[in-house]
Amino acid sequence: MDEALLRSLTPSVLALLVRRGADFAAAEDAVQDALVEAVRGWPADPPRDPKGWLVTVAWRKFLDQSRADTARRRREDRAGEEPAPGPTPAADDTLRLYFLCAHPSLTPSSAVALTLRAVGGLTTRQIARAYLVPEATMAQRISRAKRTVSGVRFDRPGDVATVLRVLYLVFNEGYSGDVDLAAEAIRLTRQLAAGIDHPEVAGLLALMLLHHARRAGRTAPDGSLVPLAEQDRGRWDTRLIAEGVAILQAALARDRLGEFQAQAAIAALHADAPTAEETDWVQIVEWYDELLRLTGNPVVRLNRAVAVGEADGPRAGLAALAELDGSLPRHTAVAAYLHERDGDLETAARLYAEAAHHAANLAERDHLTRQAARLNARRRH
C-alpha cells in the first residue's frame, strides 16, 4: 500500500466531492470511508486510476449517507450525477480546502487539526499521537471543526495570511509521535506554493526549508539541545539551504516584503555564515527592524535584543531588553545570556535557573539548568 499516494490524493478527492455539492463534513466522512476500503482492497487489486477509484467510491459513500437523511428524495436525485468510469478531471480544488480549513471561525488548534486531516490526509490517530492527546479528544476537535465549516461557500478569496499562519503552527510543532509535523508542513506548503503565486507563500516555504536544514545539528546524541553558536554546521543540509535561499531571493525580488520573507532572510544569514563568529549580526538587526515595522510583535523585539547584543555588545542588548515586558516568554533566558556575555556570571547563573523553572518543555528546561550549573561551577573555580 502506497500511503504517500493516498495522502496526496485525499485533498483533491475531497475537494471534488465538495465542488459537486456535498456538505464538507459528510464529504470528509465519505472520503475517509473510501480510504479504508482502499487500504483493504488495493494491495490485492490495485486500480488503474487510483484517484478515479477514490472519487467513485467516496461519492457512493456520500450518497449512501445522504439517503439516510430526511431530505431523501432531493438527495437521491444526485444519483444521476455519479461520475462515469474513466479518468477524472484534472482540476484541483485543493487550494479551496486550505482556505476552508483555515476559516476564521475556527480556533488555531482546530484549524491545524482539520488541515492535517482534510489536506494532509492523516488519520485522527496519527494527528492525536503527533499532538500527544487522546484519540477521542482529537476526534471531538475535528468533528467540531467540521460542523463549524459545514455549509461554508467560497464566494470570495480566502485569507492567505490565515492559511500561512496555520501551516506555520504545524511546522513549529516539529516531531512527535509517528508523524513528522515539520516535514508534513513543508510538504503542504510546497503544495500550496504550487497552487498560488504569492511571495509570502514562497517566504514561508523558504523559512521552513532553512530552519529544517539545521535540524540535525540542533540536538546532541543524548537528546540535549545544542545552541546555534555551538552547532556542527557540517551536519546542516546544504541542499535545503540552497533551495531555501533561491526561493527567498525570487520572492524578495518581487518587492512585496512580508513577515515570513523577513524571517527567512534572517534564517538565511545564519545559514550563510561559515562559523558563528562570522554571522552578519548588523544585517540581522536591520532585518529585525523590518520585521518589527511589519508586525510590531514583542517576541520580535526580544529576538532583536539578542541580535543587538551580538552586533553592538551585551550592554546594548541589555538596554534594548530593558524596554520590554519581563513576562515575555524567554525574556529571562535572554537576560541570562546577555549578562553572561557581559561577564556578570552570578546574575547570569541566577537568571538561567529562574528561566529553567518557567521553561516550556523538558529539553529547554534541562538546557537552561545545565547553563546555570556551568556558570556556578566556573564561579567556584
29-88 pLDDT, tens digit each: 899 999 989 988 898 888 999 999 999 999 999 988 887 654 544 544 454 455 445 444
Supply the pLDDT for residue 69.
59
Supply the pLDDT for residue 218.
92
pTM of the model: 0.79
Whole-angstrom distance, CA of residue 274 vs CA of residue 304: 22
Whole-angstrom distance, CA of residue 277 vs CA of residue 194: 37
Q: Are 228 and 237 in contact (CB under 8 A)?
A: no
Supply the pLDDT for residue 93.
63
pLDDT digits (tens, 9 = 90+) for 138-179: 999 999 998 888 877 665 556 788 889 889 988 887 665 567
Q: How do strand 175-176 and strand 179-180 relate by DSSP bridges?
A: antiparallel
Supply the pLDDT for residue 89.
43
Supply the pLDDT for residue 175.
62
Whole-angstrom distance, CA of residue 355 vs CA of residue 71: 60
Buried b (16+ CB within 10 A) or exposed e, 279-310: bebeebbbbbebbbebeeeeebbbbbbbbbbb
Supply the pLDDT for residue 97.
83
Segments of the chain scoring below 70 in pLDDT: 1, 68-93, 153-158, 174-178
Supply the pLDDT for residue 157.
56
Across the chain, the runs of DSSP E, i.e. the strands, are: 175-176, 179-180
Supply the pLDDT for residue 88.
40
Whole-angstrom distance, CA of residue 200 vs CA of residue 162: 12
